Structure formats: C-alpha cells, structure tokens
Amino acid sequence: MLSRVAERLYWMARYLERAENNARMIMAFNSLALDMPRETQLSWKGLVAVTGMGALFDQHHQKADERNCVKFLMADGYNPSSIASCIKAARENVRTTRDQIPTDAWEVINELYRYILEHIDQGIGKRARYEFLNEIVGRCQMLNGLLAGCMSHDTGYDFIRVGRNLERADMATRQIEVGALQFLDGWDGTETYGGLLWTSVLRYQSAFQMYRHNVRRKVSGPLVIRFLLQNEPFPRSVLHSLSEVAGALGRLPRNEIPLRTALQAVRHTREGDVDALIRKEDVILFLENLQLEIGELHDDIAETWFPVYETA
C-alpha cells in the first residue's frame, strides 16, 4: 500500500471519530445543563478545553458563552476540530481513496457532508441541536458499520482501525480529565449534583448503560474513572481502544517502534491504581502522561509509515 493512501485512511478514521465524539459531548453537556438548576453556572468553555483548542477559541472570541462555544465546536471553519471541519476533511480523504473503500461508504460520507452544509445553522440553535447532533452520530456509526462489514480487513482497514481507536482513546482521556478536575475540587458522588456530573461524563462516551450493567453501583467519581479507563470489554474505554491499536499495529509491516509504544501505553493504562492516584491527587498527572504517550504513538506511526505528514 502506498504511504499516502495509508495516511489518508488513517486520518479519515480519526476525523470521523473526532466528529462523532464532539457531537456526543455536546449532546451530553446540553442534557447536563438542562438537568442543573438555573442558578448553577456551567462553563461551555470546558468543552472547548477538552478538544485542546482553547487558545484558538480565545483568538476569535472575547466571550465564552454558549452560542460562541457551540458554534466553535460545530461549525467554525477555522477550527480544524469542529464537526463541520472534521467531516469535510474526512470526505476529502475518502474522495482520494475511493478505490480502497466500498462505494456505499463514499455515498454515506458525501450525504453527511451535504446534510451538514444544509442544516448546520439550525443545528447551532437550541431547538434543533439535539436532532442535528444525533443525526451526525447516527451517520458516523453507519459509515463505520459499512467499513467494518463491507471492506476487506486487510492493511488498509488496519490503518482505519488504528486511526479510529487512537482518536477515541485520546478523547476519552481528555473527557475523564475534565470530570477528575471537578472531582478533586470537591464534586464527588456525595455532593448534590456530583452524580449528574459523572453521569454526563459517562454519556460523553455513551457508556451510562454499560456502566450500570457492569458496575452495578451508583455513579461515583472513582468508579467512573476506573470504568472508562480500564474496563477492557467496553469498546470505548481507553484500555480497549489502545489494545485495538496495538492489535492492528501488530499486523502491519515495520511495526517495531509504534508497536512498542502502543504496548507500553496499554500496560500503563492497565496497571494504573485509580484509588491510589485519587488519594494522592495524581490522577490528572496520570491522564496527562497517558495523553503524551498517545501523542508519541501518533508520531511513531507517522514517522514509520507517513514520511512527510502534517499534524491535525
């Protein structure tokens, strides 16, 4: 497989996963805002921080109100991580690799792109926001299902698997970090609204039902952190995602350096003692180190298979 083709498949998967994660995150936070009493002020700027685009937001907006933050995360073209930008980039990567993926997948991503162009203005508003974002999530899942069910699981699909799961692991650590920061500031499960906060963190990853099914205890900070980090059977946990990355890398040629980094990240995630980290207030440092490892893994992948690349 040509290096440029592998790179485009990798980034297509990352952009699709980023768009879906952003849509899930906005929907969950919107529900949290509706559940909280009016006198409780929630910061929409926190969602911008999760994406790592806080500095870019500050360059273009003086006020971090709901509309500015939602527009930045959903529609602003100068934000490479906005939903609109991600779908546009994913579509371009699909367009230039159409001989590698099923025809139906191109049709789905093209229709999704057109849907965003036609409905993004209404989607920013409160009234149509949930319907718009739910449509984004559904179509992204449809596309992933088409690729999983209709595309040969060869080298090209392994690059898709690597991109999707690496992006998922990165976003999960960032979302857990937001909840952990609130937890260390006193928002534990005994506080009036602590349960709502952690339920929202679970909903960021569509994990609430599986948490209740597997943990069978009330929602609390340490249990949520452990579940989203280390519950390997749950497909959106950090451990599962990194294990999938390692498995896909293991089937690729010249994989020694990226595979070593991936297995190291898997080991660190699995061996993390969540209770001890919380007691010592080291959980934020642990998550930040894990994010650095994920970034290092991306660099190793790019240097091994994409000799000339641009970060996104």
pLDDT in tens, 56-91: 999 999 898 899 999 999 999 999 999 999 999 999
pLDDT in tens, 243-280: 999 999 999 999 999 999 999 999 999 999 988 887 76
Q: Which residue intervals of the chain are DSSP H helices?
A: 3-35, 45-50, 54-60, 66-74, 83-95, 103-124, 126-150, 155-184, 194-204, 208-215, 221-230, 238-249, 256-271, 274-279, 283-305
Q: How far apart are CA 79 and CA 87, in angstroms?
A: 12
Pick from 15-24, 172-181, 237-246: least confident = 172-181
Query: What whole-number percentage of the chain has pLDDT above 70?
Result: 93
What are the residues whose beta carbons fall under 8 Å from the beta carbon of 261, sequence distance 6 or more?
A: 293, 296, 297, 300
Confidence grade of residue 124 (pLDDT, cut at 50, 70, 90):
very high
Q: What is the mean pLDDT of residues 112-134?
A: 94
Nearest to 78 by CA among 55, 97, 112: 55
Q: Which is higher by pLDDT, 227 or 185?
A: 227
- Mean pLDDT confidence for 213-219: 89
Predicted TM-score (pTM) of this structure: 0.91
Tell me the pLDDT of the chain averaged across its residues: 90
pLDDT digit string, tens, across residues 182-214: 655 544 444 556 678 888 889 888 999 999 999
Per residue, the 3-state secondary structure of 175-226, as one string, reads HHHHHHHHHHCCCCCCCCCHHHHHHHHHHHCCCHHHHHHHHCCCCCHHHHHH
